[in-house]
Amino acid sequence: MKVLTLNFLTCAVKTCKSSSDSFPLHPKDAELASDDVEVNPQLLVNLLPRIDWNALRTTSTELGFPQLPEQPPTAEELGADEKVLKDLHSLLIETQIMEGKLVCGHCGHEYAIREGIANFLLPSHLV
Amino acid sequence: MATPSTTPSALPSLSAADDVAKLTAPSAVTETGTAPPAAEADADAYERTHVHGVYEAIAPHFSATRYKPWPAVAAFLHAQPPGAVGLDVGCGNGKYLGVNRDVFMVGSDRSPSLIAHARTRTKQLQTQVVAAGGAGRDGGGVAVGTDVLVADGLVLPFRERAADFAICVAVIHHMSTRTRRQDAIRQLLRCVKTGEAGRTGGRGQVLVYVWALEQGTSRRGWEEGGEQDLLVPWVLKSRQKQQKQQRGTKNQGGGAPEEPGAAPSHPDPVFQRYYHLYRKGELEEDVLAAGGAVVASGYERDNWWVVAANEPVHQGEQ
Ligand SMILES: [Zn+2]
């Protein structure tokens, strides 16, 4: 699962949806891999305003990557600085969580990730 | 017409049944049975047997027969702007992921086996450079923006109001009560943007595609006024049966159904999938009941479709 995807996920438990603690989910025992993917600058530039930057900073730190700046780069900065673009591409698109868990900060439920696929099916008592 | 059983261990023996949902060729006349809508409390268990368990078991076969996107769905995807974030709820083998290579799409499905197929597929797309002009209306390049996960359509894990669009193709007709079908649309609407001022992107759109009751040109013989709740057989040909046994399918959703084909008297296992065939106007009614607005709707090749959105947020409202 991509780091980018994690930015659009929350706990599946209905009573967690209204809690700010259910987003972002927290990776635990994460085993990472990196895919080699061609950069799509247009996609990245347009994607950036749709990303919850604070949540991405949290995720990035929890996965052991260097702290991201407080503010997201602007479209101009992305266009002018290839390194900023590449770093963002590498974090969002290329980095994969292959094994591990995603933990909800509100209810504590742990969702398993196996072979790169997160499973959000809930046991019946949580539905 | 055979009287269907709701227990897979006592299926009627069906002969000429085939994949009736096949897109590319007119399907054979099939023996289908009527299925009484399940009681609300039993609906989950019923769908586990007649939907989730079936897809888990037929995943390799199903995946091999599903690769052509519906034209109206492809057109909807191509109309999304670069960088848009989209969801494909009930994505199956992921045939719509990567149709538009300039958007980011996350596919989800209830079937872990189908999602495993989808992941293999998206990984291939990611490394496969398509020459400009060779991929249809987009300019080629690689499909970097796809990911897949396992989730139930009624219990989605997506951040609310965050997606620019969502598609849900050939999924909601598998839900066995009207309450559940409307709830599924409600869940989709919760995932997409409301179009508030100051947020990137406009009001999010949800494309829903379901099988129609009115299939006048089809050889299935379904028409206006007919039975809407059916069990439609899927025959698993022996070649696929072998693959399936090697894989050892397992339903993580809580108990796979007994496989009717395991008995030696049935060389080709038959699985009964539940369908609710939508009558004209019913899909729009369900969108309104789910609190949504109908942006557009229509009929394409034996299916009803609707583009739905959240009710516009008016100024001054909280
Ligand atoms: Zn939770």
Q: What is the pLDDT of residue A100?
A: 98
Pick B82's closest partner by Cβ from A39, A42, A111. Answer: A42
**DSSP code at position B137:** T
Token pair listed for A19: 């809690």
Nearest CA in chain B to A13: B155
How many domains are there within chain A? 1
Of residues B41, B173, B248, B188, the one with CA closest to residue A124: B41
Q: What is the pLDDT of residue B70?
A: 83
Q: Examine the pLDDT at B173 and tell me if it is beyond 60.
A: yes
Q: What is the pLDDT of residue B235?
A: 76
Q: Examine the pLDDT at A18 and tell me if it is beyond 70.
A: yes
Look up the CATH number of the domain holding residue A41.
Answer: 2.20.25.10
Pick B126's closest partner by Cβ from A37, A52, A127. Answer: A37
Contacts of A14 in chain B (CB under 8 A): 155
Nearest CA in chain B to A16: B157
Q: Please answer yes or no on whether B157 and A121 come within 8 Å at the CB atom.
A: no
Chain A nearest CA to B159, separation (Å): 5
Chain B nearest CA to A48, separation (Å): 8
Q: What is the mean pLDDT of residues A3-18?
A: 96
Q: What confidence tens digit (pLDDT) does each residue in A27-65 have?
A: 999 999 998 888 888 889 999 999 999 999 999 999 999
**DSSP code at position A12:** S
Whether residue A17 lies within 8 A of chain B, CB to CB, comes out as yes
Q: What is the pLDDT of residue A96?
A: 94
Whether residue B130 lies within 8 A of chain A, CB to CB, comes out as no
Q: Examine the pLDDT at B220 and tell me if it is beyond 80.
A: no
DSSP secondary structure, B142-194, as one string: ----EEEEE-BTTB--BPTT-BSEEEEES-GGG-SSHHHHHHHHHHHHHHB--
Q: Examine the pLDDT at A12 and tell me if it is beyond 80.
A: yes
Contacts of B200 in chain A (CB under 8 A): 49-50
Interface probe for B, chosen from A15, A19, A44, A47 (most Cβ of B below 10 Å), is: A47
Q: What is the pTM of this model?
A: 0.81
Burial (CB count within 10 angstroms: exposed 0-12, middle 13-18, buried 19+), residue B242: exposed
Q: What is the pLDDT of residue B273?
A: 86
Of residues A7, A24, A4, the one with CA closest to residue A16: A24
* pLDDT confidence band for B26 (50 / 70 / 90): very low
Q: Which residues surround ligand 1, an ion (CB under 5 A)?
A: A 11, 13, 16, 22, 104, 106-107, 109
Whether residue B259 lies within 8 A of chain A, CB to CB, comes out as no
Of residues B168, B158, B151, B144, the one with CA closest to residue B77: B168
Burial (CB count within 10 angstroms: exposed 0-12, middle 13-18, buried 19+), residue B199: middle
Pick B142's closest partner by Cβ from A5, A37, A119. Answer: A37
Q: What confidence tens digit (pLDDT) does each residue in A72-103 have?
A: 999 899 889 999 999 999 999 999 999 999 99
Residue B209's identity, in one-letter code, is Y
Name beta bridge partners: B192.
B163
Q: Which domain holds residue A82?
A: 3-126
**Taking a C-beta distance cutoff of 8 angstroms, is the pair B234, B17 a contact?**
yes
Q: Please answer yes or no on whether A10 and B160 come within 8 Å at the CB atom.
A: yes
Q: Please answer yes or no on whether A50 and B201 come within 8 Å at the CB atom.
A: yes
Between the CA of A25 and the centroid of ligand 1 the distance, in Å, is: 9
Q: Please answer yes or no on whether B159 and A52 come within 8 Å at the CB atom.
A: yes
Q: Please answer yes or no on whether B159 and A8 come within 8 Å at the CB atom.
A: yes
Q: In chain A, what's the furthest Cα-to-Cα distance?
A: 52
Q: What is the predicted ipTM?
A: 0.97
Burial of A100-110, coded b for 16+ CB within 10 Å and e otherwise, reads bbbbbbbeebe
Whether residue B162 lies within 8 A of chain A, CB to CB, comes out as yes
Q: Please answer yes or no on whether A38 and B156 come within 8 Å at the CB atom.
A: no
* pLDDT confidence band for B38 (50 / 70 / 90): low
Nearest CA in chain B to A49: B200
Residue A94's identity, in one-letter code, is E
More confident of the two residues B58 and A127:
A127
